[in-house]
Amino acid sequence: MDHPLQIPDRMAVTYKYSYGGQFGCGYVRLDGADTFLWQLIELDDPAGARPGLRVRAHFREHRHGLMSDFVFKPIAVSIARTEETHG
């Protein structure tokens, strides 16, 4: 591969499990993908997690090539609706 793989930074949660506190875990499917990632989701309110929740990947400043280099965070409802409407 001559260049980095471009992946979408927005995707939808299809299953949730909460560890309690500020993180939950869920199956996240990247937009356009056929498979899922089981990954942490940072949540201000775990009760707000639900299938279909739109999230965005947030990466550490210093990465180590590990799954812990990034976490998903919910996209604000108004932003997510605008993106769904306007692409």
79 is a domain residue: no
Among 9, 62, 60, 70, residue whose Cα is nearest residue 39: 70
What is the extent of the structural domain holding 25? 8-57
Residues 6+ apart with CB under 8 A from 36: 14, 27, 28, 29
1 is a domain residue: no
The number of domains in the chain is 1
| Rounded-to-integer distance, Cα 2 and Cα 16, Å | 36
Q: Is the pLDDT of residue 59 over 50?
A: yes
Q: Is the pLDDT of residue 1 over 80?
A: no
The pTM of the full predicted model, rounded to 2 decimals, is: 0.60
42 is a domain residue: yes
| Structure-block tokens of residue 82 | 């605008």
Question: What pLDDT score does 29 carry?
Answer: 93
67 is a domain residue: no
Q: Is the pLDDT of residue 70 over 60?
A: yes
38 is a domain residue: yes
Model confidence pLDDT, tens digit, residues 15-51: 665 555 678 888 899 999 999 988 888 888 878 788 8
